[in-house]
Amino acid sequence: MVALTVLAGPPLIAQQPQSIQRYAGGTATFTVTAYGSMPISYQWSLNGTPISGATSSAYTLTDVRAGEAGDYSVVITNPTATPTPMQP
C-alpha cells in the first residue's frame, strides 16, 4: 500500500533566476523554478516596475536593446503565501 499526502504551503524556490549578459539584438531569457500549492503566480518587473504580460516562470526578451538593461525581478505568490520576490 502507498499513501498520498497533500501539502499546502507557500512557494518554494528550487532554482533562482540568474543574471545574464547579451549583445544587442540577441535573446535573453530569465527563468525561475518554484513549487508549492497551486496555482502559483509570477510577476516579472524591470527596475521595480511590473512588466505587462510577464506572468510566467520565464521571461524572454528578443532583439534586446540597451534600454532593456536593468534590474529584473520576479514576485512569486500562491493562495497560501505572501509575495516572494526574487532578483537575478
Q: Which of 4-8, 14-18, 55-59 has the lowest mean pLDDT?
A: 4-8
Q: For 8-71, give the DSSP string.
A: ----EEEE--------TT--EEEE-EEESSSPPEEEEEETTEEPTT--SSEEEESS--GGG-S-
For position 42, what pLDDT does the model report? Answer: 95
Which cell numbers in the block locate residue 60?
A: 524572454
Q: What is the mean pLDDT of the chain?
A: 90
pLDDT attached to residue 4: 82
pLDDT tens-digit map of 36-50: 888 999 999 999 999
**Mean pLDDT score, 16-43:** 94
**Over the stretch 1-11, which tens digit does the pLDDT of each residue have?**
888 878 788 88
